[in-house]
């Protein structure tokens, strides 16, 4: 029989539609992705959760390296005097910074910030490393943890400490830096949509919403089931702000000494939170096959005292070697129905059931996690069918999520439809917009929503749906996490 912990995990989770927040937390815990740490706002990433994050990390990392980027690592601690050099940057992060004031039993002569992001420490190092145009471009990424002292926390979406990647590059010209920013934004979009099956909108952030200290910020934004937006990745043009603050100069081909142009870009594990919310259902987690630690779980259904089913289960796993990441669940202490529930909760894309009747018929029963449909497949066709079904699950999850986002996106043409759409919080509200900070602050005060991205230029003569001023752009609005 299952132990007490297993019994608790088998209990039904609350319906997703009734309380998304409670459903989300219970899925994170019962699918064994995370557990709560003894420090408020911090989580322990359990092996299953880490395996998913690792697969996501590999997808990003492979693309980073293919575009010439290298991984490095920078310190966790940043001296206060160094952080203070870029005034706009430090002002933007000040409320979230955690400080170390004592070490080894002694008060420190200077406070150390626990990195909320690494632009400043990277800037100081780049000033040492870059002397000539021959040293450029510098294309570095790091996989690291950061700390931001959040008041309200939730696994993956907002935690005091979280895992992410942050890229930092330096270039000889503004054009090169701008091209870098767009290249990384496209990598973020492709991983979100092609790997995570997470439809996103892309575009530039408003002046009010851009990264502190950046000249321009670009982002990918996903829509969650409660109508809120999730900023899933950002790519920043930093101009020469940080280069001047940290004295990053080089001698150009014309023998003139110039400041470099820098960028930074990052994705955190909050993108995994988006995957959980968008694809999950009342049975638990639903994982896209590309990031499932187990793409297929084989569940033998034996008769007591008969080991032929166990042998057949291992043979099935061998047939799928090189086709799918396969796990055989042959634990004797749990029943087959209990295992079905557990692996559905944990989001495994495909379950392969094998019992005496399947053996007699020369078949395997496959159960899809996304649709819960079952199909009997002849063993000689198993490898090909598994490959086909996994690919179809990947396509179907994206298509379903995209259709849902489109269904819940409102196009507003006047103030009433604009405000009503944001107050209803069914999804994105797309409209013509003046892009003025004053207008955005008024929108936020009335609806609690802000612009998510500026998606493109408006037709000449357009007016803002909210305030009626001339509208040079088209933008998406929503409340956000």
Q: Within a 10 A sphere around the Cβ of 280, how many other Cβ atoms?
A: 23
| Secondary structure (3-state) at 130 | coil
What sign results for the dihedral spanned by CA atoms 402, 369, 269, 189? Answer: negative
Residue 423: left (phi > 0), alpha (psi -120 to 50), or beta?
alpha
Per-residue model confidence (pLDDT) at position 84: 82
Please state, in angstroms and rounded to a whole number, the distance separating the CA atoms of residues 405 and 401. Answer: 6
Beta strands in 69-199 (DSSP E): 70-71, 77-79, 98-103, 106-114, 138-147, 161-171
For the chain, domain boundaries: 11-279, 294-391, 410-478
Supply the pLDDT for residue 100. 97
Relative to beta strand 429-433, strand 363-368 is unpaired
Say which residue the tokens 């608790």 belong to. 8
User: For residues 117 and 162, is the Cβ–Cβ distance under 8 A?
Assistant: no
The tokens of 428 are what? 């994105």
pLDDT along the chain (481 residues), means of 10: 43 89 97 96 97 98 98 96 76 85 96 93 96 98 96 92 98 98 98 98 97 94 98 98 95 98 98 98 98 98 89 97 97 94 98 97 98 98 98 98 98 98 97 98 98 97 98 98 92
- DSSP letter (8 states) at residue 458: P
The two tokens of residue 419 are 């405000």
For residues 29 and 36, give the distance between their C-alpha atoms in angstroms, rounded to a whole number. Answer: 9
The DSSP letter of residue 362 is T
Q: Does domain 410-478 correspond to CATH entry 3.30.110.30?
A: yes
Beta strands in 178-325 (DSSP E): 201-204, 216-223, 229-239, 249-251, 257-259, 261-268, 296-300
Residue 3 CB neighbours (<10 A):
9
Whole-angstrom distance, CA of residue 176 vs CA of residue 181: 9
Cβ(430)–Cβ(475) below 8 Å: yes
The answer regarding whether domain 294-391 maps to CATH 3.40.50.800 reads yes
Task: Tell me the C-alpha distance between 338 and 3, whole Å.
Answer: 12
Distance CA 155, CA 26 (A): 10
Provide the pLDDT for residue 90: 67
Secondary structure of residue 426 in the 3-state scheme? coil
Q: What is the pLDDT of residue 61?
A: 98
Position 1 scores a pLDDT of 33
31's tokens: 């699918």
* 454 three-state secondary structure: strand
Q: Given phi > 0 = left and psi -120 to 50 = alpha, else beta, which region is 26?
A: alpha
CB within 8 A of 404, min separation 6: which ones?
223, 225
Residue 62 sits at the vertex; the CA angle it makes with 34 and 121, to the nearest 5 degrees, is 75
What distance in Å separates the CA atoms of residue 384 and residue 381, rounded to the nearest whole number?
6
**Tell me, what's the pLDDT at 9?**
46
Residue 363's Cα: distance from chain center in Å? Answer: 38
pLDDT of amino acid 10: 45
Q: What confidence score (pLDDT) does residue 8 get?
A: 47
DSSP 281: B
Fold for the domain defined by 11-279: BirA Bifunctional Protein; domain 2 (3.30.930)
Contacts of 210 (CB under 8 A, 6+ apart): 216, 217, 236
Give CA–CA dist 481/156, Å, rounded: 11
pLDDT at 11: 59
């Amino acid at each position: 029989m299952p132990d007490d912990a297993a019994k608790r995990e088998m209990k039904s989770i609350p319906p997703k539609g009734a309380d998304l927040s409670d459903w989300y937390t219970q899925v994170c815990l019962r699918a064994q992705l995370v557990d709560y740490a003894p420090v408020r706002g911090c989580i322990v990433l359990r092996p299953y959760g880490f395996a998913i994050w690792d697969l996501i990390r590999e997808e990003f990392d492979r693309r980073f390296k293919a575009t010439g980027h290298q991984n490095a690592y920078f310190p966790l601690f940043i001296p206060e005097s160094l952080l203070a050099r870029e005034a706009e940057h430090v002002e933007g992060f000040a409320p979230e910074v955690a400080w170390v004031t004592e070490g080894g039993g002694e008060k420190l002569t200077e406070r150390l910030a626990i990195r909320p992001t690494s632009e400043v420490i990277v800037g100081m190092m780049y000033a040492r490393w870059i002397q000539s145009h021959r040293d450029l471009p510098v294309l570095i990424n790091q996989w690291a943890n950061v700390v931001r002292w959040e008041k309200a926390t939730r696994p993956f979406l907002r935690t005091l400490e979280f895992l992410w990647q942050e890229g930092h590059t330096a270039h000889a010209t503004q054009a090169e830096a701008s091209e870098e920013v767009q290249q990384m934004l496209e990598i973020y979009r492709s991983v979100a949509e092609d790997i995570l099956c997470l439809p996103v909108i892309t575009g530039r952030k408003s002046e009010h919403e851009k990264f502190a200290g950046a000249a321009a910020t670009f982002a990918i934004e996903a829509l969650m089931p409660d109508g809120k937006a999730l900023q899933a990745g950002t790519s920043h043009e930093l101009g020469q702000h940080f280069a001047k603050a940290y004295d990053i100069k080089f001698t150009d081909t014309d023998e003139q000494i110039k400041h470099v142009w820098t960028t930074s870009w990052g994705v955190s594990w909050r993108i995994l939170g988006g995957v959980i919310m968008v694809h999950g259902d009342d049975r638990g987690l639903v994982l896209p096959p590309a990031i499932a630690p187990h793409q297929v779980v084989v569940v033998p259904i034996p008769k007591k005292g008969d080991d032929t089913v166990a042998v057949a289960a291992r043979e099935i796993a061998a047939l799928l070697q090189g086709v799918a990441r396969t796990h055989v669940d042959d634990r004797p202490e749990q029943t087959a129905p209990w295992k079905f529930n557990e692996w559905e909760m944990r989001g495994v894309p495909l379950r392969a059931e094998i019992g005496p009747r399947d053996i007699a018929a020369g078949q395997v029963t496959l159960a899809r996690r996304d649709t819960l449909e079952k199909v009997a497949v002849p063993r000689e066709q198993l490898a090909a069918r598994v490959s086909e079904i996994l690919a179809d699950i990947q396509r179907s999850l994206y298509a379903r999520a995209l259709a849902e986002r489109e269904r819940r996106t409102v196009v507003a043409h006047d103030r009433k439809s604009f405000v009503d759409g944001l107050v209803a919080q069914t999804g994105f509200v797309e409209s013509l917009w003046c892009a003025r900070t004053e207008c955005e602050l008024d929108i936020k005060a009335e609806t609690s929503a802000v612009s998510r991205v500026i998606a493109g230029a408006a037709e000449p003569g357009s007016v803002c749906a909210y305030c009626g001023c001339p509208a040079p752009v088209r933008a998406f609005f929503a409340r956000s996490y």
